[in-house]
């Protein structure tokens, strides 16, 4: 009997802003392969990461439950995921799928071993900036596809590319593909806007480019775009293999990012540790011929919690439990529904601690400035932090430049009540009443700067 369940290929690009892809309106040709995938399937315009950055983001993507339930709120922290919370690979493996993974998270600090759970075959790599390593990962993925062809069961392939993460070091010829100026022009001081004198960390991120005397911020962003273009070519190689091997028609392809990157939004440059839209809004493109109408554009709000529930539904598996803290399937949106959720949670606890909520109209950010015992929590530059709420009206202020919290106290009150309800729902299941006030940043400013200094000294 032929197993009719679709294969699933989940391709993740780390730190990718959707607005630097052509299918999201970017004017430069950074992403022809991803753009083609979007044209053959669906593009989601408002896909929000529930918790950033990488470790909490992927734990949410692969578990399908609220971060305040699974408990992984910071990157490279000491906390481990409970074995009672299954990940997507475990669910699919238990249902007879061949499960294949390529990922670098287990090579990072804290060795989060839960990311390998449920995989039949798993490759771990340590990211080496500037080496064009994504080509090697694609080669591994093609080898895994060759294995899958010899198995009668459907397969799940998870491929996590680390591009375009800092340091932005695309291989040649991508380093000047999107830049034709003079990056050392002494009359161009644009880069100084990103390098305040009290912020050693951002200097270190720029120094990772290996270029002294750099003056033009456009050159830095062009390196980011070059990384995307290089990555896009590797995504294209993988998609071509699916087409060539006759797998296209019965394979759900999901391309997404775990979080974005800030180029000045929220006062942050070349990093991803705030919960403004530039960081929490992610790319999401899906293709399944015969099921997803080509060229679909989904503007409805979607959360990273919603990916795993959507995959288990198309695979014919039971819904993710507990339902009160699980994401929602996105398939109704592809069948004409207007919405699956009215709000989406956002949060961070790595360089600073914040939580918030997004609706189609509003973004509310609540900084957490002290622990439950009164210990102060700093901002992302290690400074004392003000407790001021931030409210942004998304339709009229997409760049989030004007905080209107004082002008709309009723909106603030309603959104804070929804945030508290979310915490109460999770607390009834976990017993943890205030998760954002009982944690400390896992990579605070001083520690992250120290790590970068050590990396610089080793070069």
Q: What is the pLDDT of residues 205-244, one digit of tens each?
A: 777 777 788 999 999 999 999 999 999 999 999 999 999 8
- As a whole number of angstroms, the distance between CA 179 and CA 122 comes to 38
Collapsing DSSP to helix, strand or coil, 407 comes out as coil
| 78, pLDDT greater than 90 | no
Closest CA to 248 of 234, 263, 238, 260: 238
Average pLDDT, the chain: 94
278 inside domain: yes
User: Which residues, 6+ apart, have CB-to-CB distance to 287 below 8 Å?
Assistant: 37, 40, 41, 42, 252, 253
- As a whole number of angstroms, the distance between CA 366 and CA 450 comes to 28
Indicate if 325 and 359 belong to the same structural domain: no
What is the rounded average pLDDT of the residues 98-126?
90
Give percent above pLDDT 70 in the chain.
98
Indicate if 383 and 287 belong to the same structural domain: no
Q: Label residue 458 by pLDDT band (50, 70, 90).
A: low
User: Which residues, 6+ apart, have CB-to-CB distance to 84 below 8 Å?
Assistant: none
- As a whole number of angstroms, the distance between CA 63 and CA 181 comes to 45
What is the rounded average pLDDT of the residues 371-388?
93
Collapsing DSSP to helix, strand or coil, 124 comes out as strand
| 108, pLDDT greater than 70 | yes
What is the rounded average pLDDT of the residues 79-104?
97
- As a whole number of angstroms, the distance between CA 409 and CA 407 comes to 6
The residues that bridge with 297 in the sheet, in sequence order, are: 43
- Asked if 231 contacts 11 with a C-beta cutoff of 8 angstroms, the reply is no
Alpha helices, H only, 270-394: 277-280, 307-314, 331-334
Indicate if 328 and 386 belong to the same structural domain: no
What token pair was written down for 97?
A: 């799928």
Instruction: Give, in degrees to the nearest 5, the angle at Cα 365 between 342 and 160.
Output: 75
pLDDT value of residue 199: 80
Predicted TM-score (pTM) of the model is 0.96
310 inside domain: yes
What is the rounded average pLDDT of the residues 417-430?
97
Domain end (from 321, 342, 363): 342
Q: Label residue 142 by pLDDT band (50, 70, 90).
A: very high
Indicate if 317 and 276 belong to the same structural domain: yes
17 inside domain: yes
Q: φ and ψ at 125, to 5 degrees?
A: -135, 155
Indicate if 371 and 247 belong to the same structural domain: no
Indicate if 309 and 370 belong to the same structural domain: no
What token pair was written down for 405?
A: 């919290």
174-200: pLDDT as tens digits: 999 999 999 999 999 999 888 887 788
357 inside domain: yes
2 inside domain: no
353 inside domain: yes
> Which tops the pLDDT comparison, 78 or 153?
153
Indicate if 144 and 157 belong to the same structural domain: yes
262-304: pLDDT as tens digits: 999 998 999 999 999 999 999 999 999 999 999 999 999 999 9
Domain end (from 318, 342, 366): 342
Domain extent, residue 388, equals: 345-458
> Which tops the pLDDT comparison, 200 or 63?
63
What token pair was written down for 22?
A: 């052509």
Indicate if 376 and 243 belong to the same structural domain: no
Domain count, the chain: 2
First to last CA, the chain: 57
Indicate if 307 and 428 belong to the same structural domain: no
206 inside domain: yes
- As a whole number of angstroms, the distance between CA 237 and CA 102 comes to 16
1 inside domain: no
Indicate if 326 and 353 belong to the same structural domain: no
pLDDT value of residue 1: 58
Question: Mean pLDDT lowest for which of 88-92, 110-114, 224-228?
Answer: 110-114
pLDDT value of residue 112: 86
The CATH number covering residue 250 comes to 3.40.720.10
* Measured CA distances, 375 to 186, 378, 430, 431 (Å): 45, 10, 23, 22
pLDDT value of residue 130: 87
The shares of helix, strand and coil residues in the chain, as percent rounded to the nearest 5, are 35, 20, 45
CA dihedral 352, 355, 357, 361 (to 10 degrees): -30
Question: Mean pLDDT lowest for which of 82-86, 91-95, 97-101, 383-387?
Answer: 383-387
Q: Label residue 2 by pLDDT band (50, 70, 90).
A: low
Q: What is the CB-side half-sphere exposure of residue 125 using CA atoms within 13 A? A: 21
Q: φ and ψ at 269, to 5 degrees?
A: -125, 140
- Asked if 284 contacts 305 with a C-beta cutoff of 8 angstroms, the reply is no
What token pair was written down for 353?
A: 């601690």
What token pair was written down for 259?
A: 């979080």
| 14, pLDDT greater than 80 | yes
The CATH number covering residue 358 comes to 3.30.1120.10
What token pair was written down for 140?
A: 């591994």
Domain end (from 287, 312, 342): 342
pLDDT value of residue 459: 61
* Measured CA distances, 2 to 91, 128, 207, 318 (Å): 20, 42, 55, 21
Indicate if 360 and 292 belong to the same structural domain: no
- As a whole number of angstroms, the distance between CA 330 and CA 272 comes to 26
What token pair was written down for 87?
A: 């990940």
Indicate if 305 and 413 belong to the same structural domain: no
């Amino acid at each position: 009997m032929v197993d009719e369940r679709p294969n699933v290929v989940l391709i993740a690009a780390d730190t990718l802003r959707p607005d630097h892809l052509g299918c999201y309106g970017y004017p430069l040709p950074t992403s022809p392969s991803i753009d083609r995938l979007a044209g053959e399937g669906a593009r989601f315009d408002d896909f929000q990461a529930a918790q950033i950055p990488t470790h909490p983001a992927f734990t949410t993507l692969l578990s399908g439950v609220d971060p305040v339930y699974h408990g992984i709120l910071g990157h490279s922290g000491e906390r481990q995921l409970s074995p009672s919370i299954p990940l997507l690979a475990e669910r699919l493996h238990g249902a007879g799928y061949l499960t294949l993974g390529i990922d670098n998270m287990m090579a990072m600090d804290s060795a989060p071993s839960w990311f390998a759970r449920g995989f039949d075959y798993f490759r771990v790599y340590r990211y080496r900036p500037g080496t064009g390593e994504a080509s090697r990962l694609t080669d591994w993925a093609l080898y895994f596809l060759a294995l899958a062809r010899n198995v009668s069961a459907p397969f799940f392939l998870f491929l996590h590319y680390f591009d375009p993460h800092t340091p932005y070091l695309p291989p040649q010829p991508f380093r000047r593909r999107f830049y034709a100026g003079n990056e050392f022009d002494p009359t161009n001081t644009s880069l100084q806007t990103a390098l305040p004198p009290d912020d050693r960390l951002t200097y270190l991120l720029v120094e990772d480019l290996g270029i002294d005397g750099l003056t033009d911020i456009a050159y830095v962003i062009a390196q980011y775009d070059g990384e995307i273009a290089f990555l896009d070519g590797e995504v294209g190689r993988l998609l071509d293999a699916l087409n060539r091997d006759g797998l296209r028609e019965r394979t759900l392809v999901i391309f997404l990012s775990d979080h974005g990157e800030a180029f000045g939004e929220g006062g942050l440059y070349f990093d991803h540790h705030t919960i403004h839209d530039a960081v929490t809004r992610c790319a999401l493109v899906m293709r399944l011929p015969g099921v997803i109408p080509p060229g679909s554009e989904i503007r409805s709000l979607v959360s990273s919690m919603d990916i795993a529930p959507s995959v288990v539904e198309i695979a014919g598996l039971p819904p993710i439990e507990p339902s009160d803290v699980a994401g929602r399937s996105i398939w109704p949106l592809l069948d004409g529904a207007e919405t699956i959720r009215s709000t989406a949670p956002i949060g961070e606890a790595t360089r600073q601690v914040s939580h918030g909520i997004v609706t189609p109209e509003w973004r509310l950010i609540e900084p957490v400035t002290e622990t439950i015992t009164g210990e102060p929590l700093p901002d992302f530059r290690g400074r004392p932090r003000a407790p001021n709420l931030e409210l942004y009206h998304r339709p009229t202020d997409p760049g989030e430049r004007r905080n209107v919290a004082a002008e709309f106290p009723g909106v603030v009150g309603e959104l804070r009540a929804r945030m508290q309800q979310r915490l109460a729902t999770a607390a009834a299941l976990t017993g943890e009443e205030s998760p954002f006030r009982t944690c400390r940043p896992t990579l605070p400013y001083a520690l992250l700067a120290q790590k970068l200094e050590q990396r610089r000294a080793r070069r």
